[in-house]
Amino acid sequence: MRKIHVIGIGAGDPDQLTLQAVKALRSTDVFFVLDKGEVKSDLTRLRRDMLEAHMPEGASYRIVEARDPERDRGAGGAAYSPAVGDWRSARAGIYERLIAEELGEGQSGAFLVWGDPALYDSTIAILDEVLERGGVAFEYDVVPGISSVAALVARHRTGLNRVARPVQITTGRRLSEGFPEGVDDVVVMLDAHQAFRKYADQDIDIYWGAYIGTPDEILVSGPIAEAAPRIERLRAEARERKGWIMDTYLLRRHPGER
């Protein structure tokens, strides 16, 4: 039986890999990497750097790359979920081919997932879809990783929530529709349009980070009204320089603002 490891590799720092992740790496014969194009070649290089840092000298393994399918990022409203579904199905077709053609019986393959596979990642759902298709058989396990959320609050030396208070993780798309009800601590991911600017007139602090765990890491914190202009400038400069950006942030609303 073929075996697949879904390995959380942290937010970018090779030192963030857990011992469990390193053990899974060292038991892998073939690593599958989806290439997102020249603009995001840094992401592929970082994965290779992690393997070089943690695989024993002389270890025998292969890296197999495939092009990531394009996703309709302009789809909004009712079209958003179907667009994501189509993209996942396209990825499932690629995963199915890679496992069938590149992994022999009895061998182990691995997908290296940024952060933690359970948080805003589709690898588990895609592998389940591949199994449902019935074209290739395999077993898989999941190795948790240090998410960008955990790395963000660690770098800012704060916590996700306050005593006896809930915290919510959401997207920029949702935040633009309104601040979540019943919570004062909100983690926002996948925010291409900087929805936090909508709340600059409220007593809310922001803890923002981009390229967390990498040499390009940028951190900004403070009241939104003061921090927003700096974040906008740094974000624009970084995106222009690298061609892409991965960022996330925590919003902390002070009592009395609800």
Report whether pLDDT(79) > 80.
no
Report whether pLDDT(257) > 60.
no
pLDDT band at 75 (very low <50, low <70, confident <90, very high): low
Tell me the CA distances in angstroms from 249 to 36, 70, 115, 141, 188, one per residue in order.
24, 26, 15, 29, 5
DSSP string, 129-163: HHHHHTSS-EEEEEE----HHHHHHHHTT--SS-T
Distance separating alpha carbons of residues 167 and 5, to the nearest angstrom: 30
How large is the angle between the packed helices 19-26 and 41-54, nearest 10 degrees? 90
Report whether pLDDT(158) > 60.
yes
**Residue 49, domain extent:** 2-146
Report whether pLDDT(56) > 60.
yes
pLDDT of the residue at 41: 78
Q: Please indicate, yes or no, whether residues 64 and 114 belong to a single structural domain of this protein.
A: yes
Distance separating alpha carbons of residues 83 and 178, to the nearest angstrom: 23
Q: How many domains is the chain built from? A: 2
pLDDT band at 78 (very low <50, low <70, confident <90, very high): low
pLDDT of the residue at 43: 82
Last residue of a domain, one of 98, 116, 146: 146
pLDDT tens digits, residue range 189-222? 999 999 999 999 999 999 999 999 999 999 999 9
Distance separating alpha carbons of residues 233 and 225, to the nearest angstrom: 14
Could you report how far apart the first and last alpha carbons of the chain are, in Å? 55
How large is the angle between the packed helices 123-133 and 80-102, nearest 10 degrees? 70
Report whether pLDDT(39) > 90.
no
Report whether pLDDT(258) > 60.
no
145: its two tokens: 């990783």
Percentage of residues in the chain with pLDDT exceeding 90?
81
Whether 139 is in a domain gets the answer: yes
pLDDT band at 72 (very low <50, low <70, confident <90, very high): low
Total-model pTM: 0.90
pLDDT of the residue at 219: 98
pLDDT of the residue at 74: 61
Q: Please indicate, yes or no, whether residues 230 and 165 belong to a single structural domain of this protein.
A: yes
Last residue of a domain, one of 113, 146, 179: 146
Whether 258 is in a domain gets the answer: no
Last residue of a domain, one of 83, 114, 146: 146
pLDDT band at 36 (very low <50, low <70, confident <90, very high): confident
